[in-house]
């Protein structure tokens, strides 16, 4: 009996060996799979690390101007930025529609705390009904308010528009004066408005220090001033006077299209190597492209009737009020 039992146990053990042998490759395969997963994980981590390093390297490759920049170096960098922007925006122009100095003066006053586009959509009705300073000076304020309502602050703007029209009629024979000291005496007209008119209606150089201009010249470390008049003086000292008007257009266009207040598109900026503030915004080129505005982002500019050079360059006119 004992011999038979031993024999059966031996046979059972022999039969079990192949089963165990069959299970070994499974464990081996599992081990391989685990090793492969770990390798893939390590590879992914290494890839991610490499990507981070690549982004950092790309960011570091944009050489920022020295913090101890000399006056001469600042002047060279500022003028180079203007030259670069002139190539990007060769068709830069005032984005308010106008046909004469009076229209530009009124449109600029109306543009306070609203967009040029909204002003351009509103002024055709205003100028059709009141084409001259004499007409607007004699207008019914309530009727003018109704026209200017889309521009916001319409009561204050109506008062300014009618007031400066009366001043033009009574003091300047219905003509817009071409001197800074005369323009700033008109109701609602400050230095910024005066320089817009002088530079674009009379061809007399001036720097337009609007919110875009202030933001960018501080980002570029052209000046640390915050007062518009001091900014105007500081920046004006960096450039020849005959470049002031075009400089204003270049900076303002760049501020509206690429170097935005909250999310500057650093990765799509043509002057990134010259900018001390590079990296404050999106540096990834593809993501930065999505932040572009106006015609560079596939949208029309602000003017309903833009200059031909802008249209020739692929720009599109803005839609009239109520269209789309």
Rounded-to-integer distance, Cα 282 and Cα 264, Å: 7
Active-site residues, by number, are 192, 210
Residue 309 · residue 91 · CB < 8 Å: yes
Whether 219 and 231 have beta carbons less than 8 Å apart is answered as: no
**Do 164 and 188 touch, CB atoms closer than 8 A?**
yes
> Could you count the other beta carbons within 10 Å of the beta carbon of residue 239?
18
- Cα 177 to Cα 84, 119, 147, 185: the distances in Å are 34, 23, 26, 11
Q: What is the DSSP string of 108-166?
A: HHHTTTS-HHHHHHHHHHHHHH--SHHHHHTS-HHHHHHHHGGGSSHHHHHHHHHHHHH
């Amino acid at each position: 009996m004992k011999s038979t039992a031993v024999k059966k146990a031996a046979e059972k053990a022999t039969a079990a060996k192949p089963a165990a042998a069959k299970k070994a490759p499974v464990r081996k395969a599992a081990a391989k799979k685990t090793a492969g997963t770990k390798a893939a994980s390590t590879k992914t981590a290494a890839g991610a690390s490499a990507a981070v390093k690549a982004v950092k390297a790309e960011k570091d490759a944009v050489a920022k101007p020295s913090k101890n920049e000399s006056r001469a170096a600042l002047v060279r960098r500022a003028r180079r930025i203007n030259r670069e922007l002139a190539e990007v925006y060769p068709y830069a122009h005032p984005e308010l529609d106008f046909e004469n100095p009076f229209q530009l003066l009124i449109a600029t006053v109306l543009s306070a705390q609203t967009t040029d586009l909204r002003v351009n959509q509103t002024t055709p009705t205003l100028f059709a009904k009141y084409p001259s300073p004499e007409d607007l000076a004699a207008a019914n304020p309530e009727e003018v308010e109704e026209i200017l309502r889309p521009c916001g602050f319409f009561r204050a703007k109506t008062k300014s528009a009618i007031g400066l029209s009366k001043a033009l009629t009574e003091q300047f024979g219905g003509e817009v004066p071409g001197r800074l000291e005369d323009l700033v005496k008109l109701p609602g007209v400050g230095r910024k408005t005066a320089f817009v008119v002088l530079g674009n209606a009379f061809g007399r150089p001036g720097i337009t220090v609007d919110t875009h201009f202030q933001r960018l010249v501080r980002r570029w470390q052209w000046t640390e001033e915050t007062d518009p008049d001091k900014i105007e003086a500081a920046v004006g000292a960096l450039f020849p006077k005959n470049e002031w008007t075009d400089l204003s257009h270049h900076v303002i266009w760049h501020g509206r299209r690429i170097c935005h207040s909250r999310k500057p598109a650093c990765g799509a900026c043509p002057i990134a190597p010259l900018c001390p503030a590079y990296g404050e915004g999106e540096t990834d080129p593809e993501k930065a492209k999505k932040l572009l505005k106006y015609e560079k982002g596939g949208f029309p500019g602000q003017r309903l009737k833009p200059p031909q050079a802008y249209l020739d360059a692929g720009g599109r006119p803005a839609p009239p009020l109520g269209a789309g």
